Amino acid sequence: MIRSGLRRRARKDLASEDLSARLVTITEPLGGTSEAYRTLRTNLIYALVDEPPKLIALTSSGPTEGKSTTCANLGVVLAQAEKRTLIVDCDLRKPVLHKIFGLRNFRGLVNVLVGECSLQEVLQDGPLHNLQILTVGPIPPNPAELLSSKRFATFLAQVRREFDYVLLDTAPVELVSDAATLATQADGVLLVLDAQKTRKGELRQAVRSLQTVGANMLGTVVNNARFSKSRYYSGYRYNSRV
């Protein structure tokens, strides 16, 4: 666990929030939170040397626990370590990665899955040369169906060949089955929890749901944990028991 001085914005400020400010690994690379993301990266790269996970799904039990923020910053630090990294917005219901990275979202994953575009046509460059982002594109009426389709499996096989790491940002486990569907197709799952908000029961239920479908649980990311009145830390536990 690593301390940091990152301040979380109050809920009431969300409407006016500059979402790009969530990229603390770019805006404050020397801060404690960026260091925590680098520790997470180290664990991913070195802790599983025999079978390093390439396709990693990030999920949480409920909404707004920090999945997308973690996904974006983990992608940045992987790219900073010279890993060819792709972040895919797989939250087809509430996509947000295009906002975090300040990208357009007219076309994206959905267009690839319905056969309208090739992957190369919709990949967008992130803020680092070896970081690419795939936004959702138009919100589809049938997210669960798309994520369990053959085309999605083919898409994953393609990005597995072309990138060192592929991060899949997902919807919460408890709301819909999308995350469980993705978890079974990824090499491993990181479960993000908000230390101030996530209830133990919800976390246990999420772990159970993921284990039931046979997901490979890599560990939990503790987000927004208060260290003292004015300090927060993010942390990572490898293969933790929750």
Ligand X SMILES: Nc1ncnc2c1ncn2[C@@H]1O[C@H](COP(=O)(O)OP(=O)(O)O)[C@@H](O)[C@H]1O
By the criterion CB under 6 A, which residues form the site for ligand X?
6, 8, 14, 17, 22, 60, 63-69, 96, 223-224, 234
Shortest distance (Å) from residue 139 CB to ligand X: 16
Q: List 87's β-bridge partners, or say none.
A: 133, 167
- Distance in angstroms (rounded) separating the CA atoms of residues 57 and 53: 10
68 or 220: CB nearest Mg ion: 68
Bin 186: left if φ > 0, else alpha if -120 < ψ < 50, else beta: beta
The site partner of 219 among ligand X, Mg ion, none (C-beta below 5 to 8 Å per kind) is none
The site partner of 38 among Mg ion, ligand X, none (C-beta below 5 to 8 Å per kind) is none
22 or 83: CB nearest Mg ion: 22
- Distance in angstroms (rounded) separating the CA atoms of residues 5 and 31: 7
Residues that bind Mg ion (CB under 5 A): 67-68
The site partner of 8 among ligand X, Mg ion, none (C-beta below 5 to 8 Å per kind) is ligand X
* Nearest one of 187, 225, 219 to 42, comparing CA atoms: 219
Shortest distance (Å) from residue 170 CB to Mg ion: 8
- Distance in angstroms (rounded) separating the CA atoms of residues 120 and 134: 10
35 or 91: CB nearest Mg ion: 91
The site partner of 224 among Mg ion, ligand X, none (C-beta below 5 to 8 Å per kind) is ligand X
Shortest distance (Å) from residue 228 CB to Mg ion: 28
Shortest distance (Å) from residue 104 CB to ligand X: 19
Shortest distance (Å) from residue 190 CB to ligand X: 12
Q: List 3's β-bridge partners, or say none.
A: 233
